[in-house]
Structure formats: C-alpha cells, structure tokens
Amino acid sequence: MNRKNISKKILHWYDNNKRFLPWRKKVSKKQKEYFTLVSEFMLQQTQVKTVIPYFINFTDKIPNLISLAKVNDNLLMKCWEGLGYYSRARNLKKTAINILKCYKGKLPNTIDELKSLPGIGDYTSRAIMAIAFNKKIIPLDGNVERILKRVFYLRKENEITKEYLNIKKNFFGTSNRSSDYAQAIMEIGALVCKPISPLCLQCPISKNCISFRKKDFEIKTKNKFNKIKYFEAKIYEENNKFLLIKNDKFNFLKNMPIFPMKEVKEKKYKFSNNKKINIKLSNMDMKIILNKVDKLPNLTNKILLEKNKTKSKILPSFTKKIFSSIHKIQ
C-alpha cells in the first residue's frame, strides 16, 4: 500500500470539499494557535455545528490570549452560556494565565507541556500539535476511529481499543501538510464516513476499504452504559422568586446556580406522583422529581431569582430545563 498516494487522495478531497469553519480562517501564526486552543476546548464533547456560533461570539468578545487571561468571569461565562460543561471555560482561562506566566505568552509546542495545562488531555494536546504546529500527528477522535474500523473491517473487542487503533492509523502515513492532513482525515469521517449511511462513492480511499468491498458498514463499538441516577429537586417560590443555590454537587457545574436537590432511591422516584423530568449527560442519565415545597429550606449560598429574569442571568441549561418545567407543577 502506497501511503503517499493515500495522503494525496485525502488532501485532494479536502482541498475541494472542506467546510468553512471560523477557526480555519487564514490568520497570523499566533492567532491560529489561539483559535486552535479555543476551538479544541469547545469541541470537547460538543458537535461542530453547535460550536460555530459560540466560537465566533467568544473570539469576537475575547480576541486573544491576553484578553482571555484577564477576562471578567461573568463575561467568560456569558460567552460560554448554553455550551455546557462549564469547567472547560474555567480551565481555558487558567490555561491562558499559565501560558502567560510560564511560557512567555507562547502556546507550548510539546505534548507533555500541553498536557500539563488545565483541561488539556491526550487527544486535545495531539490535536493542537497537529493543527496549530503542523506536527506529523493524527489525533484519534471518533471520526478517525470510524474510518479505521471500516477500512480494516475491525469487529473484535481487542481490535477496537485505543491502543490497537493507534497502531492501525499508520495506514494514513504522513504529509508535509500535517495540519491540513489531520483535519482532512477527521473531515472525511464527519462528512463522508458517517456513522449511518456512509457516502462511500464520494470517499477518496474507498478502494482501500474492506467494509466497502464487503458492503457491510456496521460499526463495532464498546459496550457503554450510562449510569441512571434519581434526584429530587426542591422548588420553592416566594413573591415570584425561585430558590437556587451555588452548586457544589456536580463538578461540571461548579458554583453555577442550580435548584436544591438530593439523590434518592429508584423506588421513591417510581412511586412519586410529582412532575418528573429527564436530563441526559455524557456519562449519566438524570431522572428528577420536581417537588414543590412551602417552607424555605435551610441552605447556604442561597439565591432568589425571578423566573422572568432567567434570560439575563448566566444559568446552565440544566437549570433552565427545570425552570421551563416549573409551570407544569404550579
């Protein structure tokens, strides 16, 4: 297999079919590093189409690393509001502060240094290395995994591990256009080698794909079960104001306003006649009883918020969903 031909085919397809994404704009090297840093934080567990408007607004309000390190927390959270996983925003600011303090304002260009920064793990560090610094690295995201599973027709449990897939990605070879090449492979996964109904006739490497030859495109995935947890949220209203508290229960919503809640047993949830809602997270399905209470709970960090002012406040979508259900229990 000639890997040079593979990279040429993929890059030719990319040059003619890539999406316009705001973080791919032609900008200075320093600005490209900043755009890559922000976009990769936003793209953690969030789809591209969701990130685009947030990225545009964020980089308009917070245009560079210095402004990010100095940004007021309220503005930071306002720019992130609705994107979820708010710890990413806090870690992004901490990373900017660390870069200014420890790296003279320059984004570090080694995997180990990048991974030492808050919120940057193995995948994000490799994505930054490839995209911002043109290093010959192909980050292993879900799109790249899917291509490899189909190209090699991987069906066994021991064939779909990260370790095995990292070996198989040698199939792609390398390119001097490493930044474009890494993005091109991910782009094929997103636009062509889709999870359902892949567009094989548009794929530049279909001739190298065993799944295409077999006409079998099913993707083998590891068994993944989200935990189901049951909660009771207390809904207290006084003079058209609702009781919220600063969260210390869930790490992903640290210090964000939420309704007071506690975990309960499945039996209590099932036999409750109160209004119930479901909230799906990446690692947990939350089933919540909405329990209206008449007495103000004895809590610290209390906030009383008028329902008609929720749009002007920085609230997690988690809290907004409960607010939207409150009228059904009035």
Domain boundaries, the chain: 3-138+177-191, 227-329
Asked if the domains 3-138+177-191 and 227-329 are classified in one and the same CATH topology, the answer is: no
Q: Is the pLDDT of residue 251 over 70?
A: no
What is the amino acid identity at position 67?
Answer: S
pLDDT in tens, 68-106: 999 999 999 999 988 888 899 999 999 999 999 999 999
- Inter-helix orientation angle 29-42/122-133, to 10°: 150
Q: What are the backbone angles phi and psi of residue 296, rounded to the nearest 5°?
A: -65, 120
What percentage of the chain exceeds 90 in pLDDT?
62
Q: How confident is the model at residue 273 (pLDDT cuts 50, 70, 90)?
A: confident
The reported pLDDT for the residue numbered 72 is: 95
Percent of the chain at pLDDT > 70 equals 93
Report pLDDT for 3. Answer: 67
291-304: pLDDT as tens digits:
888 887 777 778 88
Mean pLDDT over 165-176 rounds to: 94
Compute the distance between CA of residue 317 and CA of residue 23 in angstroms, rounded to an integer. 25
Determine which one of 33, 40, 81, 187 is catalytic.
40
Alpha carbons within 13 angstroms on the beta-carbon side of residue 281 total: 17
Which residue did the predictor score with more confidence, 260 or 202?
Answer: 202
Q: Is 227 helix (H, G, I), strand (E, B) or coil?
A: strand
pLDDT digits (tens, 9 = 90+) for 49-73: 999 999 999 999 999 999 999 999 9
Model confidence at 195, pLDDT cuts 50, 70, 90, reads very high
Superfamily designation of domain 3-138+177-191: Hypothetical protein; domain 2 (1.10.340.30)
Active site residue 40: yes
CA 286/CA 278 separation, integer angstroms:
6
The model carries a pTM of: 0.77
Does residue 217 or residue 202 have the better pLDDT?
Answer: 202
Task: Give the number of other CB atoms < 10 A from CB of residue 95.
Answer: 22
pLDDT at 166: 92
Cβ atoms of 54 and 85 within 8 Å: the answer is no
pLDDT at 27: 96
Q: CA-to-CA distance for 129 and 107, rounded, in angstroms? A: 10
Class of domain 227-329: alpha beta
Q: Give the lowest-confidence range in 49-63, 189-203, 247-261.
A: 247-261
